[in-house]
Amino acid sequence: MKPLIVANWKMNPVSIKEAEKLFNSVKHGVEDIESAETVICPPFIYLPLLKGLVLGAQDCYWEEKGAYTGEVSVAMLKEIGCKYVLAGHSERRKLFGEKDNDVNKKVLTILDAGLIPILCVGETEQEREQEKTEEVLKEELEIGLVDVRDVSKVIVAYEPIWAIGTGNPCDVEEAQRMKEIIQKMVSKNIRILYGGSAKANNAEGYLKQAGFDGLLVGGASLDPKEFVKIVNTS
Ligand code: PGA
């Protein structure tokens, strides 16, 4: 399978005009690249406006419809053409109090709808210092994947929290070790992405050396030239 290069725009850019400009620059830059699948995860409201690249959502809610102010269902995302949905990004967990059980409900709902969940896992700096990384990953994976019938349909993104948005990416060797640990923990052959200050100058290490199946790119995905370079390294 082709490596998956996923842009997580988070709550950026600030206007439709800029979102369209960024999207179109990326689209133009990657149109001849066949070695990777490029996915854009913009804020929800831009999703119906962006056409011509594979789309993903940054989050979803597990209920089908009803009185859930502010939430977006998976059916809505499917109708708009999303193929992928992030579940349990560390910012959702930390800033919005998402628990492993919530993440699990999201993963199950995304799978039920026939979309592909990207389950995000990773340790904080403190957990890493206390050598609790494996414990954290185990819990996030075990609970996140409860009742999932075919785990191979889930993509896992290993995103050490201390590396996200810090400009301090994880060493390729350490990331590779974590990738192998995750693969063992889920005991199935699943696709695993790396995320955390991924850039054009380190992408090759994760993809070629550590053997990740793709990247989840935050900050660098807002710079079309940089992002296209990342897609090009695959
Ligand atoms: P970053 O974000 O590339 O800006 O570190 C990655 C992510 O949060 O998915």
**Across residues 138-161, what is the average pLDDT?**
97
Question: Which pLDDT score, from 0 to 100, does residue 234 have?
Answer: 85
Which pLDDT score is estimated for 17? 98
**72 band by pLDDT with thresholds 50, 70 and 90:** very high
Examine the pLDDT at 86 and tell me if it is beyond 90.
yes
Confidence band for 106, pLDDT divided at 50, 70 and 90? very high
Q: How far is the CA of 27 from the centre of ligand 1 (A)?
A: 20
**Average pLDDT in the 107-129 region?**
98
Location of structure tokens 């990384």 = 133
pLDDT band at 89 (very low <50, low <70, confident <90, very high): very high
Q: Which atom of ligand 1 is nearest to the CA of 197?
A: 5
What pLDDT was estimated at residue 37? 97
For the CA of 169, the nearest atom of ligand 1: 5
What is the distance in A from the centroid of ligand 1 to the CA of 218?
4
pLDDT at 140 over 90: yes
Q: Which of 217, 221, 223, 229 to mutate to test the pocket of ligand 1 (most atoms within 8 A of CB)?
A: 217
Q: Quick one: which atom of ligand 1 is closest to the CA of 196?
A: 5
The string of pLDDT tens digits covering residues 167-204 is 999 999 999 999 999 999 998 789 999 999 999 999 99
User: Is the Cβ atom of 165 under 6 angstroms away from ligand 1?
Assistant: yes
Give the span between the Cα atoms of 52 and 148, in whole angstroms: 31
Ligand 1 centroid – CA 66 distance (Å): 32
8 lines ligand 1 (CB under 6 A): yes
Q: 23-65 pLDDT, tens per residue?
A: 999 999 999 999 999 999 999 999 999 999 999 999 999 999 9
Which of 40, 49, 126, 150 shows the shortest CA–CA distance to 86? 40
Tell me how far apart the alpha carbons of residues 103 and 167 are, in angstroms, rounded to a whole number: 27
Is 217 near ligand 1, meaning CB less than 6 Å away? yes
